[in-house]
Amino acid sequence: MAKRKVGQQTIKLESAPYIISSYSIVGPKEGSGPLLKYFDSIVQDDYFGEESWEKAESKMMIEAIKYSIKNSNLGIENIDFLLAGDLLNQLISSNFAARALQIPFFGLYGACSTMAESLSLGSVLIDGGYADKVVCSTSSHFSSAERQYRSPLEQGGQRPLYSQWTVTGAGATVLSDIGEGPRITYITTGKVMDFGIKDANNMGAAMAPAAADTIIAHLNDTGRQATYYDLIITGDLAKVGMDITIELVKTKGYNIESVYNDCGSIIFDNKKQDTHSGGSGCGCSAVVLNGYLLKEMKKRTFNKILFVGTGALLSPISSFQGESIPCIAHAVSIENDLRV
Amino acid sequence: MAKRKVGQQTIKLESAPYIISSYSIVGPKEGSGPLLKYFDSIVQDDYFGEESWEKAESKMMIEAIKYSIKNSNLGIENIDFLLAGDLLNQLISSNFAARALQIPFFGLYGACSTMAESLSLGSVLIDGGYADKVVCSTSSHFSSAERQYRSPLEQGGQRPLYSQWTVTGAGATVLSDIGEGPRITYITTGKVMDFGIKDANNMGAAMAPAAADTIIAHLNDTGRQATYYDLIITGDLAKVGMDITIELVKTKGYNIESVYNDCGSIIFDNKKQDTHSGGSGCGCSAVVLNGYLLKEMKKRTFNKILFVGTGALLSPISSFQGESIPCIAHAVSIENDLRV
């Protein structure tokens, strides 16, 4: 087995790269939800001064990346690589952000798991000595996603109560070989799971098996119990998917219930904000991580987090062609006070 | 500077991972072109027994990955990671391939640069000791790409003579920490370049600045002359982009003309096959690399290749919104007879 692998799907990062900086920017709906005080910037107009939602989304990613770098007291020229992705076809938010920033760029796609995917590959680049500093970023936008994946907003279609609401926002994380901050200790890379769900509104149920599979793989590979973590947080299964994940993980002998939460379940007040089952989109786990979670880690509310990005890898075309929804989850272990 | 970096954009792979196996599968048009004898499999029906072109494309990728693993005398369970991407929205060819194969999976998107991107990150995973074996794969399909990016095939639209023809095919490469075969010695990761071209049929001209920028960065970072290589091969600029690349590289004092070629320029007989400026698509550089180039390296026709994947990172939406075409290129140095 490869010397830095632990078990079948997990990599141990011996040097435990530091998260030295992060930044989150959200739209008005997210900025009036329960996590509002954690976001670094709240945009009041979801066009963000641009002519289209797609351009607004890209601008949000650019802002998140720029300010995450600025907050780390580095310049853009100090960043070795940018790893980024988003939900838009051909990753246009990320591509145009990479054009604006001129950082050597790896484009990634893992749907809503992309934040965890970018942290996974970014921390490997640092840990292996291939980079000193990388930025990881993802974004999503309710209005650009809705018209791409579902139907024109002007149509005013009804959405089922188990559907999720795509978050408008972007998050960015700066990883470093040296410095201060929480550290990335393990990554667990997911396999694609598909239990046959075909309803593209029911993402939570579709993604739960992937989330459960990766959580189980992580615990098996590292020999840790679920309660080693102060928090195991998926992003984004919302209410429906959370319950299924707890049950699926239980079948393999692990009980995560007491430490488990989900980014999509905490970003909105679902009843007051009419967001049905909860939040979703690359931007959801990105802003919950870079807003809420990392700030609470700094305050030591949480010292050990397993951040599990979950993505539904369908496209409208695959659904039209009768396919079920393939899903993936990637886990990233983030820890304070590491004894190396 | 990070200990394994050389210059601003280049990583030196000390252990020089081995390419122990490769596989290429193509459609009927590619299989009657000048490289026909190099392809491992030629499919006579571009539906490949499936109900849609998208499903056929995914099946091609599955076949390429399966047989590349089989040819290396490994089992699927021996592969640590699959790194793959394609041109379809949300990478459905790759996602469904990853579902079928159950290998831990990183989804990547770099348009037609994705084969080089997957080799870049795959060789980092091996070199750093994070994996012993990885598979890198990409695919494209003329008919699935045409209706996604341009217009329904049934419309029979005319294409300008400087346009390119998307290759139907998939390629897969198995990288290993030990073994025999050509080795990956350096990777140079590109920045997004955009010289303002807005004509989505003129990909070669749009991508040339990115290709030139990465080739120049690679030569600057490594201190090599262009003629160190037996072949510098971009994929896929075709005729128009090649000429521009030669000129742009010349402005920085490097003359690549005597060793330069392009995957899109050699896969078709453009006059006889009515493919205008040449081939394109993720599958083009994938099948030219995994078919022609690696087989000729085995025969020692070439001993040192700089493989430069070039991608146009536009989407139909970004073009409709008046944006120009952001492009990227990643370079991978592949060498026989390495003196370490």
> How far is the alpha carbon of A5 from chain B, nearest alpha carbon, in Å?
6
How far is the alpha carbon of B95 from chain A, nearest alpha carbon, in Å? 6
Q: Which domains does chain B have, with CATH numbers?
A: 5-176 (3.40.47.40), 183-335 (3.40.47.40)
Question: Which residue stretches of A276-323 are H helix?
Answer: 282-287, 294-298, 316-320
Residue A68 CB neighbours (<10 A): 27
Quote the minimal CA–CA distance from A169 to chain B in Å. 19
Residues 16-55 of A with CB under 8 A from B: 51-52, 54-55
Instruction: Report in angstroms the alpha-carbon separations of B214 from A110, A307, B318.
Output: 26, 35, 24
Question: CB-CB: which of B104, B110, B189 is closest to A190?
Answer: B104
Residues A128, B132: C-beta atoms closer than 8 Å: no
CB contact under 8 A, A128 and B124: yes
Q: Which of residues 58-117 of A touch B (CB under 8 A)?
A: 80-81, 85, 88-92, 95-96, 98-99, 102-111, 117
- Does residue B120 belong to the interface with chain A, where contact is any CB pair within 8 Å? yes
Please indicate whether, in this complex, the C-beta atoms of B92 and A127 are within 8 angstroms of each other: no
With contact defined as beta carbons under 8 Å apart, do B210 and B190 qualify? yes
> B131 CB near a chain A CB, below 8 Å?
yes
| Confidence label for A240 from pLDDT (cuts 50, 70 and 90) | confident
Is residue A278 predicted with pLDDT exceeding 60? yes
Is pTM beyond 0.95 here? Answer: yes
Q: Is the pLDDT of residue A338 over 80?
A: no
Cα→Cα distances B32→B27, B49, B168, B268, Å:
9, 20, 12, 8
User: What tokens appear for B147 in the block?
Assistant: 């209706």
The answer on pLDDT for A200 being more than 70 is yes
CA atoms of B321 and A235, how far apart (whole Å)? 31
Residue partners of B51: CB distance under 8 A and separation at least 6: A321
Q: What is the 3-state secondary structure (H, E, C) of B64-126?
A: HHHHHHHHCCCCHHHCCEEEEEECCHHHHHHHHHHHHHCCCEEEECCHHHHHHHHHHHHHHHH
| B258 near A CB under 8 A | no
Nearest 5°: CA angle at A161, between A274 and A326?
Answer: 115
Q: What is the pLDDT of residues B93-122, one digit of tens each?
A: 999 999 999 999 999 999 999 999 999 999
Would you tell me how many other CB atoms lie within 10 Å of the CB of residue A152? 9
For residue B105, list its beta bridge partners. Answer: B82
- Chain B contacts of A318, Cβ < 8 Å? 54, 90, 92, 96
Percent of chain A with pLDDT over 90: 94
- Give chain B's radius of gyration (CA, Å): 18
CB atoms < 10 A from the CB of A153, how many?
A: 12
- Per-residue pLDDT band for A339 (boundaries 50, 70, 90) equals low
Q: Is the pLDDT of residue A111 over 70?
A: yes
Please report, for residues A13, A125, A206, A304, B280, the alpha-carbon distance to residue A211 in angstroms, rounded to integers and kept in the order given.
21, 25, 10, 18, 36
**Average pLDDT score, chain A:** 96
For residue A337, the model assigns a pLDDT of 80
Q: Report DSSP state, residue B177.
A: S
Q: Which of B2, B80, B192 sits opposite A98 (nearest CB)?
A: B192
User: How far apart are the two ends of chain B, measured CA to CA in Å?
Assistant: 22
Contacts (Cβ under 8 Å, ≥6 apart) of B28: B42, B43, B44, B45, B46
For chain B, list residues with pLDDT below 50. Answer: 340
Please state, in angstroms and rounded to a whole number, the distance separating the CA atoms of residues A198 and B187.
Answer: 40
Q: A312 is written with which tokens?
A: 């539904």
Are A317 and B92 a contacting pair at CB < 8 A?
yes
Q: Would you call A104 and B9 a contact, using CB atoms and an 8 Å cutoff?
A: yes
Instruction: Kindly tell me if the per-residue pLDDT of A209 is higher than 80.
Output: yes
User: What is the rounded distance in angstroms from the CA atom of residue B10 to the CA atom of residue A80?
Assistant: 10
Question: Angle B142-149/B53-71 helices, nearest 10 degrees?
Answer: 140
pLDDT of residue A13: 98
Torsion of CA A153, A157, A161, A164, to 10 degrees: -20
* Count of other CB atoms within 10 angstroms of residue A338: 13
